[in-house]
A = this chain, B = another copy of it.
Amino acid sequence: MHIVCTDLEGVLIPEIWIHVSRKTGIQELSLTTRDISDYDVLMRKRLALLSSHGLKLKDITDVIQTMDPLEGAVEFLDWMRSQTQVIIVSDTYIEFAKPLMVKLGWPTLFCNFLSIDGFGAIIDYHLRQPDGKRHVVESLQGLNFKIIAMGDSYNDISMLTAAEHGFLFRPPHNVVVEHPQFPVKYEYAAIKEAIAALLA
């Protein structure tokens, strides 16, 4: 039996921080691990920016609420769910992802979470565990599932490597060059065909 472990941002929905950066006009919120390689430094900077602009969780989720899944994502996800089991494995935070999960029809999501204070301010972030994506794949393999993994970036590589089958979906050029071992797909129709062949 198979499970598809799919990344969320860049694969099924747009990048959340980039969208929030645009909508709030706070340009520094669009910085990523490509700009600040230490994730903890990056996240503390993001939380400090939100705090200094007086932005609480609800302000951010109101912005996220205006986002939509990528064109064709809902149909693609629905197709996968009708063919096999699917778990979305993401480094995002459940509080941010929720408004988009309803638009995706409440698929199962394994991700991280935030600490919110009594006034609704985001005061801390929590990774469920280090290298969480790889651990998900290995745990599910321990339950005798075969894993088809798909993702778009560096934080997906350990998940794709651990999986029986790994695909890069719409990755940036540098990820393709550095990880030539993974088939690359750019359209839902193409990855659908590849997954269908594995499930046949």
Interfacial residues, chain A to chain B (CB-CB below 8 A): 1, 78, 81-82, 85-87, 94, 102, 105-110, 113, 128-129, 132, 135-136, 139-140, 142-145
If the complex has contacts A94-B1, A139-B142, are A108 and B87 also in contact, measured as CB distance less than 8 A?
Answer: yes
Residue in B closest to A140 when the chains form the complex, CB atoms:
B139
Q: Select one of B85, B128, B145 contacting A1, CB under 8 A.
A: B128
Q: Which residue of B lies closest to A81 (CB)?
A: B106
Q: Are B85 and A110 in contact (CB under 8 A)?
A: yes
Provide the residues of chain B in CB contact with A109, threshold 8 Å. 85
Q: Would you give the shortest CB distance from A146 to chain B, in whole angstroms?
A: 11
- Asked if A108 and B110 sit within 8 Å, CB to CB, the answer is no
Contacts of A128 in B (CB 8 A): 1, 143-145
